[in-house]
Structure 1
Amino acid sequence: MSELRVLVDGTELRLSDTKPHPIGAANGRLHVGDAADAGGFGYLVFEITSWFLHTKTGPRPAGLRLNGRPITRLVEPLSDDDELTIGDRPARPAPPRRPAESAGPGSSGPRTKTGPTAPRRSARPRTLTIGRVGTGADIEIADPSVRAEHAYLEVDTSGRWWIREGSGRLFVDGKRAMTAVADVGTVFVVGQTALTAGPELLSGGAVGDGRTASAATTAVAAPGLRISAGRGLPIDLDGVTVIRGGNTLLDDVSLHIGAGEVVAVVGPSGAGKSSLVKVLLGEHRPDRGTVRIGGGEAAGRHQVRYVPQADDLYPSLTVAETLTFAAGFRAAPDTRPEEIGKRVDTVLGWLSLTGQRDDQIATLSGGQRRRVSIGLELVGDPQLLLLDEPTSGLDLGKDRDIMMRLHNISRSLHCTVVVVTHSVTHLEYVDKLVVMGRGGVLWYAGPPVAPQDEGHASWADWMVDLDVAPDRGPRAGRRPAPRRVVSATARPALNVRGLPQALLREALLVARRGWKSLGGLVALPFCGALLAIFASGDGLRPGPDMAQVLSILTTVAALTGAALTYLQLVHDRAVLQRDWRIGITAGRLVSAKALVYGAVSLLLAALVTATYLGGRDGPPAAFGIAPGLALFAAMALIMMSSMGLGLLVSSFARTLEQAVTLNTLLAVLQVALNGALFPVSVWLTWLLPSRLGLGLIAAYADLNSVRPPGLHHDPLWAHGAVVIPLSVLGMVLVAVWSVVGAAAKTERGWRG
């Protein structure tokens, strides 16, 4: 038997391991076992080899703590001399050292009693919480993308330390992991911060501005953590070779970039600078060699913050709104709004944009827009910032201003900064210069030097020499066998990180479209409804013109729905891809557009319905459904499913011209194959919302029975309670699979 001895206010209780023992609180005192109400806040129970404290999900007593820290989990393991307190009333459970050789109640045989054993005080806590600064975690990290209880560091009964996921994601040497042994030298990534296991255990203290945290006194050696927050992330490339299409993009590149350094990467066009960027972003997998970021092998983009060459900003948003949305995307879901607001104000001050916080992006100068673009990443307190041509198109004064600010940001944020640039005029602000030559050959990596020091008369002469292809041709190579790598973007299915911000941003963008654009949204359905009114004086009452009127209404609804979204993804692709790079999936970004424009479709469907019924009669009532409701449902379903098809069209288009062409083709199909002009097989047109929508309202109005001579009989117009729900289901499925398909196509395109 393995009994538990508990001291409550100096009184020792002995608890059997054969049943759970309730634990409760009353009048500021803890009660254990028979003295506690069965409806208390938890119970003590022996499971397999150890005792555990199980707490219920309901309210707990105020001030309930285990070893001085709040209880945050439903199950807590107990060790020697643990102290459970409520206020100042302790209850100390002390698990037995070894199971006693004593028979249980009612058993026969010799009974031996365990002799008294002095309690052994454990000098280290069994579980440490890893969380964001200000959340009260045992190990606090100055990284806004880290959650309050992002991960846990635990020790098992054999003295091994483990790290496991809490409410956030954990990566071990670049691969997603739920739990892993904290062997010395292992690199864990939480948020964008690298934690390297070392010889000492950290027990707490805010880590960010400092380099280390205080070490706990431990009975045995336990791994410690070297934390990259407040230091920056180092980069190590070892023999990296990238071959695509028979061309060598990077040729045996070995490079070390220290934590917190500012590095400029220069070279002529075709020297592999963009390929180096894609390798660091995880978009190019090396054919040979390894890439390590923060000491761990890089398998994704979650630690890299990237500023592209183009200013990928929404012109109708203000500076403060742009940075606030960016901060929300980059922050942990449990971040308070005031934290985000404070971070935005700080970045506005760093970039000297406080005076422009309420200005729209469209009104800013080129240099100011470039600073806002950099600010999108600064609001996330990056530890590795990668910039592609940040000074392109700027005059010499603004060029120097950007480089000086990047140098200051590196020192203030303790951030590693890598700048890919053609400009060599202000290299005094960098710590290291990397020079690439044609064929992806690394020619120089070291302190900034003048071209004369390398035997060239000027930078122009050096660039000309670097632009000459190397003597050796592209190296033969093959891609290594695929490894089992967990995607850096794998998430729990119900994770909706970024979706609320994306929804709010889309809604704001619709509201900011301006009166001309909003007027255009209303004009098409309104004019279409008027055209349907003028087409027949009988409206949708049984008559020879019913099919003609239905064809006009369904065509207007289909064209309106597709017009809402067919440009959305191709026009916003660069902005959305930037959100995707920091971990917001394409599915959430596309879903945000679908939800917002689905709501717009409902409003426009109501406009069409109200306009038409204001001038003409609706169809006869049937199946207990009001005619106005039936017409609105048909218009709304057609618009929303066509809206989904518009997103799908936009995901396949690479340019605006391609999107217009594809949408025109879709419009022709919707008009010609809606079933009103000539007989059309249902099975060939079940993907067309106009066909299904016309069938829905025609079945409701029994068009087959009242059709004029010469108009064909259509099985989709059959008056009955079967066709109508099938048409509704068909349009719902079209909307869903279109949005899912658009998200999948967009995700695959970004992954390359």
Structure 2
Amino acid sequence: MASIDQQTVTREITVLEVTVAGPSGEARSLVRPDDTVTIGRDAANDLVVEGTLISRRHAEVIWNDDGWFLRDLGSRNGTYVDGEKAAFVAAVDGGSVHLGAADGPAVRFKVVTITEEVPRPPATPAPAPGPAAAPPASREAALHTAGALIRLGRGPDNDIVLADLRTSRHHAELRRTPTGYEVVDLGSRNGTFHNGRQVTRQAMQPGDMISIGRHEFIFDGMRLHEFEDAGPSSLIADDLTVRIKDAILLDDVSFALTEGSLLAVIGPSGCGKSTLVKAVAGLRPASQGTVRYDGRDLYADYAELRYRIGMVPQDDVLHRQLTVRRALRFAAALRFADDVPRKERRLRVAEVLRTLNLTERAKMRIDKLSGGQRKRVSVALELLTEPSLLFLDEPTSGLDPALDKEVMEELRDLADKGRTVAVVTHNVMHLDLCDRVLVLTVGGRMGYFGPPGELLSFFGAEDYAEVFREVTANAEHWHRAYRSSALYTRYVTEQIAEAPLPKPAVVERVTVPMPRDPADAAPAAAGAAAGAPAAGEAPAGAAGALPAAGGAAAAGAGAATTVLPAGAPAPESETAEQAMPARPAAAPTAAPGAPGAPDAAGSAAPGSGGDTGKPARAVGRARVKLGGASLRSRALHPAAPVRQFLTLCLRMFWVIGADRGLTLFTVGLPLALALLTRTVPGENGLAPGLTKFSLEAQRLLVVLAVGAAFLGTAAAIREIVNEATIYKRERAVGLSAGAYLASKVFVFSVIILGQTALFTWLALLGKNPPKDPLIFKEHWLLEISIPVALVALASMAFGLLVSALAKTTEQTTPVLVVVVMAQLVLSGGLFELEGEKVLQQIAWLFPTRWGLAAGASTVDLTKMIPFEDSLWDHTTGAWWRSVLILLLQVVALIGLARLALRRLEPGRQ
């Protein structure tokens, strides 16, 4: 019982005692509700733990309405529970975790009760009677009662209609099973995510989250709580370090970016600005540290969150030969779901063009635009999917001051309209348009983060040029000065500590689906007969029961839609505990120990069903299990690979057709090579001469084989490296690598088959045919053309392999020359390879060796020249052997090119 005196009141409160056992002894701290205690090696932490396994800021103990939790802060060596890494752990009475290793320093938790004295509250008169207080205005919650089946998708016939072009028409279902509920993906193109991990079928536990496009659903065991990530998003970068081998590109960078703000990242060349942006955007994850998107771990949930992040690289990510509108339409076809109608995609493209004032230039080729306009087109590309975060790497590079200001003003406008924008720039003339400026010093360290108005005064500089000189010449000094300053505490430490947990915008509707089977229908019918409200209806007189304005349409199962104002009384069918809070971040979690409830480590209790043995993290007030897939393996496909393949093929044909120079080269090259064959002396063609030996057939076959090798290699050797920037960006948002490579192979095959047919026909026009063709007696030209075409196709595949491995287009030219020369020398047509043990085996790797062998078998070349070759036997078996080996080379080289594409995968260093 509390004792009362005139000044104070003594009360009992429950707190969490946190004990850390380190090498130098134990440290304790009491965590009160709503308090936060940090743990780490740095002396600024509440609990300091020494040791090489402990990070500077290793973990923190926080409170939310479900109790106390320990959250790992992206430590280098992790936090362990029962020998397994955990990102978010319930701090229950008697529980413990280990820091840095499974047997590292232990953190133990104990719930205790303490007494404390607080000032006595002043007496206040009773309020006068008046009307009932209005419910808190603003947000409204969406509750979906889980019946036998809930259908989710973009189509109006779903129980829950999701207005998002990245959502399939019929996307997923929540189904009742004998043991509970499961979510089932219906073959959607953008995927269904369960706790950040893409799934096709997954058992559901209370507290689990389903994500579809921008929509998130928290399952509480009986209902789905719906949220929509439609507004600006906060971004926290905490202790980011990027290492490549022994080099440190970025060193311990932290900052907090509030919602709807514009950040400029500046610093001298080579200080890690682009590295930082790629790390924060998830394209190249940091070696150490965390990035939090609205409180969620970006790296852990990248497969899902990447669609909400736009990235505009320094180089253009569009084919300049296309018009603005056509380029954006191709991009929309690749990024949106298969079943999004063409009309809807085109409307979205038109909307983005209007947003960025590009409508008047929609029909212009991109290479005819100014530099600033091209950057706006790149921004338009990212805005197609309506990202909440937008990153730009040097968007004003090479622009004059007027265009630079124009771009920065447009970025300011985007931030004001609800996006969080970060831009890397060398130009400091318009920093006043930004909310925050981050200055990096040489060595990738922080020199300043804060408002632009305080930057010059912090450095004691008169202009930005002096700032750049200081952070270049005295990098370590300014890094230490900022880290020890009040600015760092105000704009970094406090902002990160106060960073909000996830709070997606709430969708303004409540859908209660009617039961779909007789077993479910019976209780509803009984309730209706007794005068109870029917399923899908609000109780009579319930406050706020209004029709949804454009919410979920009534499905064939009879789903109805109502609106429940935030804070309004729950319908009579719900208890107070079931009612949705006014501004929730998640549904309540089942009590520990209850069937199906997560335990302290985030795993389900035995017998609850479902796979819940993974570490847990927080999503608002719920504990959600992390997926274990690596970031690089999460490049999923927004559109079906077949649809992507067709779109990429069509785009490639448009690009080639729009490039007049390339078109002329493609048509002119086989003509030029055919003219070269006319320089071969002789009148016998491919037939034996009147004398014992005739070199004309040999020379013609050599020119055909080597010419075909040049056609194939020259066509493809620059293709992928030329598009590397475009491929990386499209791959990061879900382009199928297989579809991309298949489109290159298909388009080049069509072109090369046409080229080799024209080349072979013109080269042998008017020449005598072989005396005794092996396969096609009446169509000897086809028998010659097949191996020539296969040589070109194998060389094309080799060209794609080289292009995927090359870092610059300049590297491909010498490779082209060397490869064509090697194809000539090792073809077997210049000198006898038979008997050359090493050289003969090496020659087997080259397509011209087998292409020439097939042609030699057809014309019976061994009877026309003074040396023999075992591969040239005049038999059908020898011809088929050469053709089949050429086919194997084509397949093998395409497979190697696919492996080489992994070098360009998101997340690769």
TM tier, smaller: 0.7 to 0.9
SS at match of 1:470: helix
1:469 aligns to 2:621 (yes or no)? no
Question: Aligned-pair distance for 1:329?
Answer: 1.8
Instruction: Tell which has more relative contact order, 1 or 2 (C-alpha 8 A, sep 6+).
Output: 2
Question: Aligned-pair distance for 1:564?
Answer: 1.1
TM value normalised by structure 1: 0.73
2:359 corresponds to which residue? 354
1:503 aligns to 2:507 (yes or no)? no
1:717 corresponds to which residue? 872
Question: Aligned-pair distance for 1:232?
Answer: 3.9
2:199 corresponds to which residue? 177
Question: Aligned-pair distance for 1:370?
Answer: 1.5
CA contact (8 A) 2:670 2:758 kept: yes
Give the direction of change, closer, same or farther, for the CA distance of 1:158–1:232 in structure 2 (3 Å limit).
Answer: farther
The one-letter code of the counterpart of 2:413 is N
Q: How does 1:9-88 map to 2 (within 5 A)?
A: none
CA contact (8 A) 2:641 2:736 kept: no
SS at match of 2:700: helix
CA contact (8 A) 2:328 2:349 kept: yes
- Separation in structure 1 between the aligned mates of residue 654 and residue 416 of structure 2, nearest angstrom: 36
Give the direction of change, closer, same or farther, for the CA distance of 1:732–1:597 in structure 2 (3 Å limit).
Answer: same
CA contact (8 A) 1:267 1:435 kept: yes
- Percent of residue pairs bearing the same amino acid type: 32
Question: Aligned-pair distance for 1:227?
Answer: 2.1
SS at match of 2:765: helix
CA contact (8 A) 1:174 1:488 kept: no
| Counterpart pick for 2:798 among 645, 648, 667 | 645
1:684 aligns to 2:689 (yes or no)? no
- Separation in structure 1 between the aligned mates of residue 710 and residue 405 of structure 2, nearest angstrom: 50
1:601 aligns to 2:747 (yes or no)? no
Give the direction of change, closer, same or farther, for the CA distance of 1:497–1:296 in structure 2 (3 Å limit).
Answer: farther
Question: Aligned-pair distance for 1:624?
Answer: 4.1
SS at match of 2:349: helix
Question: Aligned-pair distance for 1:410?
Answer: 3.9
- Separation in structure 1 between the aligned mates of residue 825 and residue 445 of structure 2, nearest angstrom: 57
CA contact (8 A) 2:232 2:389 kept: yes
CA contact (8 A) 1:317 1:361 kept: yes
The one-letter code of the counterpart of 2:671 is F
1:130 corresponds to which residue? 152
CA contact (8 A) 1:129 1:152 kept: yes
1:672 aligns to 2:825 (yes or no)? yes
1:63 corresponds to which residue? none
SS at match of 1:722: helix
- Separation in structure 1 between the aligned mates of residue 210 and residue 244 of structure 2, nearest angstrom: 31
Give the direction of change, closer, same or farther, for the CA distance of 1:657–1:442 in structure 2 (3 Å limit).
Answer: closer
- Separation in structure 2 between the aligned mates of residue 463 and residue 257 of structure 1, nearest angstrom: 23
CA contact (8 A) 1:586 1:744 kept: no
The one-letter code of the counterpart of 2:453 is V
Question: Aligned-pair distance for 1:493?
Answer: 13
1:405 aligns to 2:410 (yes or no)? yes
SS at match of 1:320: helix
Give the direction of change, closer, same or farther, for the CA distance of 1:655–1:723 in structure 2 (3 Å limit).
Answer: same
Give the direction of change, closer, same or farther, for the CA distance of 1:719–1:179 in structure 2 (3 Å limit).
Answer: same
CA contact (8 A) 1:174 1:297 kept: no
Q: How does 1:657-668 map to 2 (within 5 A)?
A: 657-668=810-821
1:327 aligns to 2:332 (yes or no)? yes
Question: Aligned-pair distance for 1:565?
Answer: 1.2
1:530 aligns to 2:682 (yes or no)? no
Question: Aligned-pair distance for 1:136?
Answer: 4.5
2:423 corresponds to which residue? 419
2:666 corresponds to which residue? 521
Question: Aligned-pair distance for 1:627?
Answer: 0.3
1:707 aligns to 2:864 (yes or no)? yes
Question: Aligned-pair distance for 1:141?
Answer: 3.9
1:547 aligns to 2:698 (yes or no)? yes
1:39 corresponds to which residue? none
Offset from partner CA, 1:158-183 (integer Å, 9 cap, x none): 66675757424234455443445666
Question: Aligned-pair distance for 1:484?
Answer: 5.2
The one-letter code of the counterpart of 2:774 is A
SS at match of 2:828: coil
SS at match of 1:382: coil
Question: Aligned-pair distance for 1:615?
Answer: 2.1
Give the direction of change, closer, same or farther, for the CA distance of 1:517–1:389 in structure 2 (3 Å limit).
Answer: closer
- Separation in structure 1 between the aligned mates of residue 247 and residue 852 of structure 2, nearest angstrom: 54
Question: Aligned-pair distance for 1:630?
Answer: 0.8
1:263 corresponds to which residue? 263
Offset from partner CA, 1:57-92 (integer Å, 9 cap, x none): xxxxxxxxxxxxxxxxxxxxxxxxxxxxxxxxxxxx
- Separation in structure 1 between the aligned mates of residue 207 and residue 234 of structure 2, nearest angstrom: 15
CA contact (8 A) 1:194 1:294 kept: no
| Counterpart pick for 2:216 among 186, 195, 205 | 195
1:634 aligns to 2:787 (yes or no)? yes
**Alpha carbon RMSD of aligned pairs, Å?**
3.1
1:342 corresponds to which residue? 347
- Separation in structure 1 between the aligned mates of residue 425 and residue 437 of structure 2, nearest angstrom: 11
Question: Aligned-pair distance for 1:307?
Answer: 0.4
Offset from partner CA, 1:339-391 (integer Å, 9 cap, x none): 12111211222222222222112221111111112112122222322111112
- Separation in structure 2 between the aligned mates of residue 699 and residue 679 of structure 1, nearest angstrom: 16
Question: Aligned-pair distance for 1:601?
Answer: 0.7
The one-letter code of the counterpart of 2:864 is R
Give the direction of change, closer, same or farther, for the CA distance of 1:423–1:186 in structure 2 (3 Å limit).
Answer: farther
1:622 corresponds to which residue? 774
- Separation in structure 1 between the aligned mates of residue 274 and residue 403 of structure 2, nearest angstrom: 23
1:384 corresponds to which residue? 389
SS at match of 2:630: coil
1:32 corresponds to which residue? none
The one-letter code of the counterpart of 2:290 is T
Q: Could you list the runs of 5+ residues in structure 2 that have no partner in the other structure? A: 1-143, 481-626, 835-839
Give the direction of change, closer, same or farther, for the CA distance of 1:561–1:618 in structure 2 (3 Å limit).
Answer: farther
- Separation in structure 1 between the aligned mates of residue 414 and residue 371 of structure 2, nearest angstrom: 20
Offset from partner CA, 1:108-140 (integer Å, 9 cap, x none): xxxxxxxxxxxxxx95434333334x5544444
The one-letter code of the counterpart of 1:222 is R
1:151 corresponds to which residue? 172
2:458 corresponds to which residue? 454
Give the direction of change, closer, same or farther, for the CA distance of 1:149–1:417 in structure 2 (3 Å limit).
Answer: farther
CA contact (8 A) 1:703 1:717 kept: yes
TM value normalised by structure 2: 0.61
CA contact (8 A) 1:533 1:615 kept: no
The one-letter code of the counterpart of 1:417 is V
Give the direction of change, closer, same or farther, for the CA distance of 1:397–1:384 in structure 2 (3 Å limit).
Answer: same
Give the direction of change, closer, same or farther, for the CA distance of 1:449–1:156 in structure 2 (3 Å limit).
Answer: farther
2:96 corresponds to which residue? none
SS at match of 1:554: helix
Q: Could you list the runs of 5+ residues in structure 1 that have no partner in the other structure? A: 1-121, 200-219, 474-481
- Separation in structure 1 between the aligned mates of residue 146 and residue 194 of structure 2, nearest angstrom: 24
The one-letter code of the counterpart of 1:152 is E
SS at match of 1:418: strand
Which moved further from structure 2: 292-301 or 553-562?
A: 292-301
| Counterpart pick for 1:738 among 893, 897, 903 | 893
Question: Aligned-pair distance for 1:599?
Answer: 0.4
Give the paired residue count.
595
The one-letter code of the counterpart of 2:464 is W
1:27 corresponds to which residue? none
1:222 aligns to 2:223 (yes or no)? yes
CA contact (8 A) 2:184 2:201 kept: yes
Question: Aligned-pair distance for 1:669?
Answer: 0.9
Give the direction of change, closer, same or farther, for the CA distance of 1:669–1:142 in structure 2 (3 Å limit).
Answer: same
Question: Aligned-pair distance for 1:283?
Answer: 3.9
The one-letter code of the counterpart of 2:886 is M
- Separation in structure 1 between the aligned mates of residue 712 and residue 339 of structure 2, nearest angstrom: 36
- Separation in structure 2 between the aligned mates of residue 715 and residue 723 of structure 1, nearest angstrom: 9
- Separation in structure 2 between the aligned mates of residue 564 and residue 455 of structure 1, nearest angstrom: 55
